[in-house]
A and B are shown apart, each in its own frame.
Chain A
């Protein structure tokens, strides 16, 4: 269960980031033919980020305490004290932006209004940047746990 959650959490997150890039590309090339794709991709981002929240949250609440102890006693304690602490809070920002994006994307003037396109692209870009930062932080946290375990084995 724990390992499956650890695989699903970043997978949903990456798929959400890819969907946000998809939205940016569709909006840059906005036309009558791709309006429904913009809306579908925006809703997909929200669904994927909720799934990221549920899988990551379940792991964090029920399993992370052991990893936290290993990380804090290992050579990279900052993986928890800085990165995990930041990650668990910045994620809510990404989640809120993901919930806001489908609301903007349902606006009817995407083709005619440059300002609407900028709003959608800005929101999607913030999702991409924060999402990539969270994925990177997750990788370093995993490395922190590995190094902590290695240190325990060596000792």
Chain B
């Protein structure tokens, strides 16, 4: 039997679905920030041996830490809203990266 009306995602899926969307958008914003601001790029190079390593650690850090924080708050969201959030953030952020380097 299909249950289709306004279902909420479970707590863990909601928390990490939102954090995935935020981390994906953060990834693009951090890329724009470091490519546009030499001071940020220099700081990212200083933190680890390469700015890309720092970038990866920050993105995964946002995903994990925000996910755990949201999991504690027991936030509720409908599954379809979560689907749209993850899908749109991925498409727009991916396009944003390509467009940035096309125009750069």
Count of A-B residue pairs with CB < 8 Å: 115
Q: Report A40 CB to chain B, min CB distance, Å.
A: 18
Partner of A61, one of B27, B52, B91: B52
Residue contact A96 to B101, C-beta cutoff 8 Å? no
* Contact between B87 and A89, CB atoms less than 8 A apart: no
Nearest A residue to B16, CB-CB? A103
Contact between A57 and B86 (Cβ–Cβ < 8 Å)? no
Give A123 to B82 CA distance when docked, in angstroms: 11
The answer, yes or no, to whether A47 is at the interface (CB within 8 Å) is: no
Contact indicator per residue, chain B 61-93, by CB within 8 Å of chain A (1) or not (0): 001000000000000001110110011001101
B103 to chain A, nearest CB (A): 10
Partner of B83, one of A82, A112, A115: A115
How many residues of chain A have a CB within 8 Å of chain B?
34
Nearest Cβ in chain B — how far from A135, in angstroms? Answer: 15
Evaluate contact between B83 and A118: CB separation under 8 angstroms. yes
14 contacts between A and B (CB under 8 A): A57-B56, A82-B98, A82-B102, A86-B98, A93-B27, A95-B56, A96-B27, A99-B16, A100-B86, A104-B13, A113-B3, A113-B79, A114-B2, A126-B86
9 smallest A-B Cβ distances: which pairs?
A115-B79, A100-B20, A119-B83, A61-B50, A92-B59, A92-B27, A89-B31, A85-B101, A103-B16
A interface residues, Cβ below 8 angstroms from B: 53, 57, 60-61, 81-82, 85-86, 88-90, 92-93, 95-97, 99-100, 103-104, 106-107, 109, 112-116, 118-119, 122-123, 126, 130
